Structure 1
Amino acid sequence: MIQTLTTYESMTTDPYTNLAVEEYLTFHAEPGECILYLWQNAHTVVIGRNQNCWKECRVSELEADGGHLVRRLSGGGAVYHDLGNLNFTFCMRKEDADVDRQLQVIIEAVASFGLTAEKTGRNDVAINGQKFSGNAFFDSKGCYYHHGTLLLNVDTASMSRFLNPSKAKLQSKGVSSVRSRVVNLSSLCPHITVDTMKQAMFTAFSKVYGLPAVPLCADRLEQTAICKGRERFSSDRWKYGPKIPFTNRLEQRFSWGEVNLDLHVNEGMITEALLSSDSMEADWFSDIGTEFQGLPYRTDVLCKALDRSLEQHMVPENVRSDLSRMVQEQI
């Protein structure tokens, strides 16, 4: 039974730190305590624990634009975060979890602005059929969290741009996202801002649980542990797909011939590559598949390796340009 309410508001927009804090709070919530943690990430795509990042978003384009790719502990689909989005996490012991009650905090917070929200099918919260809050869950060793998004004034153009993967023929065992119609709450009520929604969430938290909420004492956060967590969440091995092997076939027809490039990837590294072409110049591509093996599955790395190999084979500039563009557009 929940007997103590605690609140904590992150002062950083670094996604890796925020996820490390979330993990720490989850595993250090006291029996009978519920912690409401509010946080924001700047220019970030967050994917579920078992998703293939390249299938979910334009990874290279996101990172080239200064954005961050993050893999969280919970399942569910990919979401886009910017400073028009407020994230929440309820951290507690598993036996104290009550999803309906937790979702009621969101519904009450929105109701304080005169808006009527309701829970929908996949633990989302919507207004008139348009989702503004997606939710996901995690539990381990009796510790539990329920977290999600609150779309306040998110840049929907960037959301569409980065959450739409390329049309490459990528086959993966990762879990795919389910897209839904979304709405920004500020478009329904101009009084909703990040600051007013934070206050509304804290007020609704106390109202729903019928208890006063007390800010978390900073001494409870062990910075050494959080730094280690941040290091893990920001590592390439964690971000780019631990234990999710997949194959991507890049293919395109050019004026000089058709090219097929099959890349087998495991844990973000190319384990096997095969390039085939009906081009009349058979020697152009003879070694490329071998040279790709062991490289990170990243657009910039592959383009450099490809260009270096083609230059050694004295491949014409227009062909090199065509192949580089194919890699950039399909990875």
Structure 2
Amino acid sequence: MIHTLTTYESTTTDPYENLAVEEYLTFHVKPGECILYLWQNTHTVVIGRNQNCWKECRVSELEADGGHLVRRLSGGGAVYHDQGNLNFTFCMRKEDVNVSRQLQVIIEAVGSFGLTAEKTGRNDVAINGQKFSGNAFFDSDGYYYHHGTLLLHVDTASMSRFLNPSKAKLQSKGVDSVRSRVVNLSSLCPDITVDTMKHAMFAAFSKVYGLPATPLCTEHLNLDTIQKGRERFASDHWKYGQKIPFTNRLEQRFSWGEVNLDLHVNEGQITEALLSSDSMEADWFSDIGTEFQGLPYRTDILCKALDRSLEQHLVPADIRADLCQMVQEQI
């Protein structure tokens, strides 16, 4: 039974530190305690634990734009975060979980602005059929968290840009996201801002549980442990190196011929590659691909390796540029 409410508000928009704090709070929550943690990320795509990041978002484009790719501990689908998005996490022991009650905090907070929200069948929260809050869950050894998003005034153009990659030729066993119609709460009520929603969430937390909430001071956190967690979440191995094998066929027709580049990838590295073309200059492309084995599946690295290999085969610069552009657009 919950008898202690604690609140914590992040002081950073660094997504890797925020996930590390979330993990720390989860594994340090006391029996009978519920922690409500509010946090924001800047320009970030967050994917579920078992998702293929390249199938879920435009990874190279996101990172070239200064954005961050984050893989969280929980399952579920990919979401876009910016500072128009407020994130929440309920941390507690597994025996104290009550998803309906936790979702009621969100419904009450939104209701304080005169809006009527309801839970949908997929543990989302929506208004008039439009989702503004997606939720995911994690538990380990009796420790549990329920976290999600609150769309306040998210840049939906960026959301669409980075969460809608071309998937026609990429085959993967990773879990796919389910896309839904979404709505920004500020478009329904101009009084909703990040600050007003934070106050509303903390007030609703106490109201729903019928208990006062005590803020947690940063001084009570183990910053060394959190820093180690941050380094893990930010590591290439965590972000890209999951054991989710997949294949991707890049193909395009140019004025000089059609080309196919078949890539087999596992744990974020290319395990096999084959470049083929119906070009009249077939010798240009013979034996190209074996040198890609073991390379990270990253656009910049693959483009450099491809250009170097093509140059060694005396492929003209304009055709090398065409192929590198294909890689940049299709990965």
For the aligned pair, the TM-score class normalised by the smaller chain equals over 0.9
Residue in 1 aligned with 2:193?
A: 193
Question: Which residues of structure 2 form unaligned runs of 5+?
Answer: none
Deviates more, 1:142-151 or 1:248-257: 248-257
What letter is aligned with 1:25?
Answer: L
What are the residue-to-residue correspondences of 1:159-178 with 2, within 5 Å?
Answer: 159-178=159-178
- For 2:233, the equivalent position in structure 1 comes to 233
Partners of 1:126 and 1:18 lie apart in 2 by 25
Q: Distance in 2 between matches of 1:260 and 1:219?
A: 56
- 2:294 alignment partner in structure 1: 294
1:314 Cα deviation from its structure 2 partner: 1.7
Return structure 1 stretches of 4+ with deviation > 6 angstroms.
Answer: none
The TM-score with structure 1 as length reference comes to: 0.98
How far apart are 1:69 and its partner, in Å? Answer: 0.1
Q: Is the CA contact (8 Å cut-off) linking 1:53 and 1:241 kept in structure 2? A: no
What's the counterpart of residue 136 of structure 1?
136
Q: Which moved more, 1:290-299 or 1:171-180?
A: 290-299
Give the conservation status (yes or no) of the 8 Å contact 1:20–1:227: yes
Alignment check: 8 A CA contact 1:51 1:241 kept? no
| Structure 1 equivalent of residue 48 of structure 2 | 48
AA matched with 2:174 = G
Q: Would you say the 8 A contact 1:166–1:329 is kept in 2?
A: no
Measured after TM superposition, the shift of residue 317 of structure 1 is 2.1
1:161-202 deviation per Cα after TM superposition (whole angstroms, max 9, x unaligned): 000012450110000000000000000000000000000000
Determine helix, strand or coil for the equivalent of 2:204: helix
Counterpart mapping for 1:1-331 below 5 A: 1-331=1-331
Deviation string, structure 1 residues 116-159 (Cα, Å, up to 9, x no partner):
00000110000000000000000000000000000000000000
Work out the CA distance in 2 between the residues paired with 1:275 and 1:327: 12
RMSD between aligned alpha carbons?
0.9
Cα offset, 1:7, TM superposition: 0.1
Q: What is the TM-score of this pair, normalised by structure 2?
A: 0.98
1:280-324 Cα deviation digits (max 9, x unpaired):
212212232111111110111111111111112221122112111
Question: Is residue 245–residue 267 contact of structure 1 (8 Å, CA) maintained in 2?
Answer: yes
8 Å CA contact 1:132–1:151 kept in 2: the answer is yes
Once the two structures are TM-superposed, the CA of residue 241 in structure 1 deviates from its matched residue by 4.1
> Would you say how many aligned residue pairs link Structure 1 and Structure 2?
331
Consecutive unaligned residues in structure 1, runs of 5 or more:
none
Decide whether the 8 Å contact of 1:126 with 1:132 is kept in 2.
yes
- Aligned partners of 1:196 and 1:231: how far apart in 2? 32
